[in-house]
């Protein structure tokens, strides 16, 4: 039997984290319509992840979120 509770809890945690991130972005820029895709945060994180996978295929998977976060922070 497959246990789905850890997956469910992780999904709830990620959803809550994304909601908090959205509220923080809207509060920082003081614009209720601001979102990460409009500010280019999503694109920077995606580009860093894909670039890291292409240039360093032996990179540990645990490093990818850190690279994506750093690129998103840099914008």
pLDDT at 58: 93
Digit-coded pLDDT (tens) for 15-74: 999 899 889 989 999 998 888 788 788 899 999 999 999 999 999 989 999 999 999 888
3 state SS of 72: helix
pLDDT at 2: 77
pLDDT at 1: 58
Secondary-structure breakdown of the chain: helix, strand, coil percentages, each rounded to the nearest 5: 75, 0, 25
Give the CB-side neighbour count of residue 57, counting CA atoms within 13 A. Answer: 1
Q: Per-residue confidence at 3, pLDDT binned at 50, 70, 90?
A: confident
Q: Per-residue confidence at 11, pLDDT binned at 50, 70, 90?
A: very high
Buried b (16+ CB within 10 A) or exposed e, 45-62: beebbeebeeeeeeeeee
């Amino acid at each position: 039997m497959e246990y789905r509770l850890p997956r469910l809890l992780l999904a709830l945690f990620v959803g809550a984290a994304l909601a908090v991130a959205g509220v923080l972005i809207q509060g920082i820029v003081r614009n209720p319509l601001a979102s990460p895709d409009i500010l280019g945060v999503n694109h920077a994180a995606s580009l860093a992840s894909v670039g890291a996978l292409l240039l360093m295929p032996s990179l540990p998977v645990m490093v990818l979120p850190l690279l994506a976060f750093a690129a998103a922070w840099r914008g």
